[in-house]
Amino acid sequence: MLSKSKYSFKLGIITILILAFAWSGAVAQLTTRADSLRLERELQSLKDASVSNPDTIIVAGDRLLSIYGKPATSPNRLKIYRALGFVLSKHGYFQLTERYYREAVEIARKTGNQSAEADLINSLGVMWAKKGEYIKAESSFLKALIISEKARYVPGIVSSYLKLSTLRIKQNKPVECLSFCKKADSVNAVNHVSFLKQEILRNKGIVKAMQGHYAEALASFNTSYKIGVEEKDVVDQVVDLQNIGLVYKEQKHIAEALSYLKKAASLAKSYYLKEEEVRVEINIPPILASTGNFDEAEALLLALDKRAIELSLIDMRLEIYTKLSELSEQQKNYRKAYRYLGTYTELRDKQANEESGRVLQEAQVNLGLLKANKRLKENEDLLFQKTRERNILFGVLLFCSLLLGALVFALLRLKNLNWVLSQKKEQLSQSNSSKNKLLSIIGHDLRGHESTSLGLLGLLKNGDLTPEEADVYLGMLLTQTESALATLEDLLLWGQTQIKGGDYKPQNLMLSLLIDRSVALNTEAIQKKELDVQVDDLQGKEVNADAHYISFVMRNLLANAIKFTPNKGIIKIYAEDYSPQQYSICVADDGIGIPPEQLEQIFSPQSISRKGTNNESGTGLGLTLCKEFVEANGGKIWAHPGLQGGTVFCFTLNKKR
């Protein structure tokens, strides 16, 4: 008992520790997941926002970095730098774009995230291409290609080939463009990534259009458009419709060109893709001008300029004023052309000045940072010390809490052990009392059997009996001896259960044999009271149980029925299906019955034994042992009043295996 107590105590301590750490881990995991979702929403809002000043973007980025960007090499910090680079590049702030992309590349390199590193270097190459610095762009794409191949990052390899092919389009090198497209298509065939396949088709279509192969160009764009419809990607559909319209423009098919461009613009508008709508519609004015609709073309360009201002699209405004200047030149209105060209120059200079000012401001900030870094380091050291002290305090509190929990657990365990000991003590007391009572009554019964047997032996020895009488007395002597032996076996079986719980040996048994033997052992008592014992047909019914245990149960239940049944009464023994796995065996008598107040406690060791109809005595423990033996065989036992008086005792046993 003591060893079990120590084991339970240790198990309780371990359980408390596991629950404490599991709780803290679960809370941390849920917090991290929630932070990640909030960051994704804020980054998407930043990408979708219209920004007129880079300071707005930088302030928003700094706020996100302060909340989600720790430590310095965290995945969240990389995501924020990447998003800032994307937004600034979209609005034409290339120096700032380069700065944030390089910060992100450094984090990816330090953390060994080669796929992210390759994607970011490709993004840097796109920025260089937008600025017209094609050598730097090509260098970036080739570097990203090497990293992707080393990491076996297939989307990165395909993306690098595609960007190299796009660069060759800008450089008017169609043959090299198709060569890179072929390489991209070959690598993409492994994974079949839809959006990469579309980019390959678009680049092929552009090259074919440049070469004057318009039918092949239209086929490529139409195939890409169908993929976009299947993937339900509206942006891709808009781009492909625009490209189809531009091919028709090159063929001088004005109606078809305007139809596809307007369809693309309408699709973008229906999905609130304002930037895409502007980028599509900027292709319409030159077509209108080619048909002589100069005023309509100019009005559309000026309207697009207002929308570009709202969306902070500086690159689009530069393109708009270039087209306005060209449009005025076509009409030989050189004054207006000069005015539009002046606006273009102002916008370009303003963009350059803003970036230069930003660079100067950053230099000044960096000088200030050199001084602030020392103070920041001191503050970080102080914060670390405070955090360490707080963690130590938390650890002490946690240890005290666990210790208190362990003490409470130990006290509860001790209380439980005391209760178990008191129960055991009470059971031992009851067992001793039952033992004394049983030995007293069984001794009396055995003495009665032996006295009767001695008397019969004396008569047989004197030889005063006729042969017929001698046979009768010999039969009586045999019955008395068998009854005494059965009583001794019951006493031995009871002793075994009390000492070591019995020796349970289940086997398949014929019910008819068990019941016939029990009836035979009680023949004298049955004949003495002239009872009619009716046994149902038990042919084919077998149970899986311990033979000694069940023989004891049947003898006792039958003996009880005989004891409380009046002379010339009826006792019925029958068995029926209780469940698919068990039989119920019942012994029913039409005797004096059992009072309701005693029926509930009939199987208890404290049950009071009553005299039989002929003043037969009993130990009072037979039914208690019957309950123990039936339950040991996986069954249950109960008693209830008979329909026409008397009592019915039933118990269940498992069917044969």
What pLDDT, on a 0 to 100 scale, did the predictor assign at position 430? 64
pLDDT in tens, 75-129: 888 888 888 888 888 777 788 888 889 998 999 999 999 999 999 999 999 989 9
Determine the pLDDT at residue 492. Answer: 67
pLDDT at 633 over 80: yes
> Is-contact 161 187, C-beta < 8 A?
yes
DSSP state letters, 300-357: HHHHHHHHHHHHT-HHHHHHHHHHHHHHHHHTT-HHHHHHHHHHHHHHHHHHHHHHHH
Could you give the percent of the chain with pLDDT greater than 90? Answer: 29
Lowest-confidence pick of 306-310, 336-340, 461-465, 600-604: 461-465
pLDDT-wise least confident of 77-81, 141-145, 303-307, 466-470: 466-470
Residue labelled with tokens 């599509």: 280
The pLDDT value recorded for residue 638 is: 92
Q: Work out the number of other CB atoms within 10 angstroms of the CB of residue 638.
A: 16
What are the structure tokens assigned to 56, written together?
A: 């707005």
Domain boundaries, the chain: 432-503, 505-654
Residue 533's SS3 state is strand
Mean pLDDT of 291-320: 89
- Rounded to an integer, the average pLDDT of 463-468 is 74
Homologous superfamily of 505-654: Histidine kinase-like ATPase, C-terminal domain (3.30.565.10)
- Distance in angstroms (rounded) separating the CA atoms of residues 586 and 554: 10
Which residue has better confidence, 163 or 22? 163
> Is the model's pLDDT at 2 over the cut of 50?
no
Residue 550 corresponds to which tokens in the numbers above?
Answer: 């069940």
pLDDT of 401: 87
For position 140, what pLDDT does the model report? 93
Given a cut of 90, whether residue 476 has pLDDT beyond it is no
Question: What pLDDT, on the 0 to 100 scale, is given for residue 52?
Answer: 56
pTM of the model: 0.47
Confidence of residue 449 (pLDDT cuts 50, 70, 90): low
Residues 343, 349, 355, 357, Cα dihedral to 10°: -120
Q: How confident is the model at residue 281 (pLDDT cuts 50, 70, 90)?
A: very high
- Return d(Cα 641, Cα 113) in angstroms, integer: 82
Above 80 in pLDDT, residue 440?
Answer: no
Rounded to 10 degrees, what is the CA torsion of 186, 189, 193, 196?
20
Q: Give me the chain's average pLDDT, please.
A: 82
Between 381 and 333, the higher pLDDT residue? 333
Q: What angle do CA 391, 394, 399 make, to 5 degrees?
A: 125
The rounded distance, in Å, linking the Cα atoms of 534 and 393 is 82
- Residue 264 in tokens: 């693309």
546 pairs with which residues across the strands? Answer: 506
Angle at 208 between CA 205 and CA 214, to 5 degrees: 90
- Give residue-wise pLDDT tens across range 18-61: 655 554 444 444 445 666 777 777 777 766 665 556 777 778 87
Contact of 104 with 76, CB cutoff 8 Å: no
Q: Contact 208/234 with Cβ under 8 angstroms?
A: no
- The count of other CB atoms within 10 Å of the CB of residue 586 is 18
Alpha carbon distance 383, 377 (integer Å): 10
Buried/exposed code over 513-535 (b: 16+ C-beta within 10 A; e: otherwise): ebbebbbebbeebbeebebebeb
Q: Tell me, what's the pLDDT at 27?
A: 43
Lowest mean pLDDT among 195-199, 244-248, 378-382: 378-382
| Confidence band for 190, pLDDT divided at 50, 70 and 90 | confident
Residue 607: partners with Cβ closer than 8 Å, 6 or more residues away: 598, 601, 620, 623, 624
What's the pLDDT tens digit per position in 357-384?
Answer: 666 655 554 565 466 566 767 777 888 8
Tokens (6 digits) for 335: 């004054």
Q: How far apart are CA 576 and CA 540, in angstroms?
A: 12
Query: Is the Cβ–Cβ distance between 557 and 626 less than 8 Å?
Result: yes
Cα distance between the two ends of the chain: 37
Q: Three-state DSSP class for 582?
A: strand
Q: Is 199 exposed, middle or buried (0-12, 13-18, 19+ CB in 10 A)?
A: buried
Q: What is the reported pLDDT for 93?
A: 78
Instruction: Please compute the mean of the pLDDT values over residues 516-537 and round it to a whole number.
Output: 88
Distance (Å, whole) CA 538 – CA 516: 10
Q: What is the pLDDT of residue 357?
A: 67
**CATH architecture of the domain with residue range 432-503:** Orthogonal Bundle (1.10)
Q: What pLDDT band is residue 10 in, cutting at 50, 70 and 90?
A: low
432-503 and 505-654, same CATH topology: no
Confidence of residue 649 (pLDDT cuts 50, 70, 90): very high
| Residue type at position 322 | T
Are residues 564 and 612 in contact, defined by beta-carbon separation less than 8 angstroms?
Answer: yes
